[in-house]
Amino acid sequence: MSILSVRNVVKDFRGHRALDRVSMEVPRASIYGLLGPNGAGKTTLLRIINQITAPDEGSIIFEGHPIGRDDTAKIGYLPEERGLYKKMKVGEQALYLARLRGMSKQDAQKKLKTWFEKFEMRGWWNKKVEELSKGMAQKVQFITTVIHEPGLLIFDEPFSGFDPINVNLLKQEILQMKKDGATIIFSTHNMASVEELCDHITLINEAETILQGEINAIREQYRTSRYRVAFAGDPEKLSRGLHKRFELEKIEQNGKGQQAIIRIPEGDGSGELIRNLLEITDIRAFQEVLPGMNDIFIQAVTEHE
C-alpha cells in the first residue's frame, strides 16, 4: 500500500511548465529516489508535497486522503537550500526547531542528546551556529528534520557538502529509519547512492516523467547483453578464438587477474558464449554486466531530448 500518491500533477510558473502530469506511487517503508537533471521539476514537486506551494492541476494523496496542512507534522523535510539562525546557540536552535515539530521540551532534549552523541557533536551544544562548518550545520538540520520521527521523510540532496565518512553515516541512519518503518523520498544527483539505497525511482526530465519503477527491474530493462569473464591464459588466444558474432569490448588486467568484457547479440542467451570460451581459455568467473544507474540516467535523458 502506498503512503503517498502523486496524481497527474501540473504546475506552471509565468508561462513555464515546471511539472507536466507527473504521477508516482511511494510504497510504505521504502526508499524512493526522485531523480532528474537540474531544472527538471524535482524540487517543485517536493515543495508541493510539503504544502509550500499548490499544484495547478492534479492531487497529492497522503495516507489515503488528500494531503492537508495537518499532515505536515507527519512529514520531515530537508530542503536543498538550508538555513539556520546564525546568532543562536546550536542546542538552543535545535531545541527550538524540535518544539516547532510539536515535541515537549523534555522529550526533545532527551532525543537531541542521543542524536548529538551519535553524530559526535556533544561539544557544540553551547556554541553559536555561525561557528559551525558547513558539514556540521547540515548535521544539525538533518537531526531537526528527523527528530520527531515522522512516517515520511523527504531529503533534497541530503549528502551535499558531506565528506565520505559522514555520507556513510547518514546512509546508515537512513537505512535504519527504513528498517524501523519510515518511508524516505530523496532527490540526488549521486547515482551510486541511488543504487545503494533506493527501492524505486522516478526520473523527471523537462517537467515530464520519463522513467519509473523498481530499480532492479529498470536495470534489467536497460541490460546490454554484456558479460564479464575472468580467465587464465593467453589474451591473444581468447581474442583470436572468439566467434565473430561476439564482440570483445576490452581485456583488463588488475589485482584480480585478467578480465574480458564481451557483448553478445541482443536476444541471444549466454550458453553459446560459454561453450565458445571453454574451447579457447580457462574460465575463472562469468557474470552479466548490468548497467549502472548513471548510464541509465544519461541514456534515458538523452533519448527524451
Fold category of 2-220 in CATH:
Rossmann fold (3.40.50)
Over 90: is that where the pLDDT of 255 sits?
no
Q: pLDDT for 13-46, tens place per residue?
A: 988 999 999 999 999 999 999 999 988 999 999 9
Residue 218 binned pLDDT confidence (cut-offs 50, 70, 90) = very high
- Percentage of the chain with pLDDT > 70? 100
Give long-range contacts, CB 8 A cutoff, 24+ apart: 283-288: 283/229, 283/230, 283/231, 284/230, 284/231, 284/232, 284/257, 285/228, 285/229, 285/230, 286/227, 286/228, 286/229, 286/230, 287/227, 287/228, 288/223, 288/225, 288/226, 288/227, 288/228
Per-residue confidence (pLDDT) for residue 15, from 0 to 100? 86
User: What does the pLDDT look like over 65-103, one tens digit per residue?
Assistant: 999 988 988 999 998 876 788 889 999 999 999 999 889
Residue-by-residue DSSP string for 196-207: HH-SEEEEEETT
| pLDDT score of 150 | 95
Q: Where in the chain are all domains bearing CATH 3.40.50.300?
A: 2-220
What are the residue ranges of CATH 3.30.70.260 in the chain? 224-289
Please give the angle made by the CA atoms of 18, 78 and 193, to the nearest 5 degrees: 85
Check residue 260 and give its pLDDT: 96
% of the chain surpassing 90 pLDDT: 81
Correct CATH for 224-289 of 3.30.70.260, 3.40.390.10, 3.40.50.10490, 3.30.70.20: 3.30.70.260
Phi-psi region of 226 (alpha: psi -120 to 50; beta: other; left: phi over 0): beta
Instruction: Read off the pLDDT of residues 101-119 as tens digits, 9 standing for 90 and up.
Output: 889 999 999 999 999 999 9
Least Cα distance to 90 among 67, 112, 60 occurs for 112
Residue-wise pLDDT for 122-171, tens only, equals 899 999 999 988 888 889 999 999 999 999 999 999 988 788 999 999 99
**In this predicted structure, what is the pLDDT of residue 190?**
85
Q: What is the pLDDT of residue 47?
A: 94
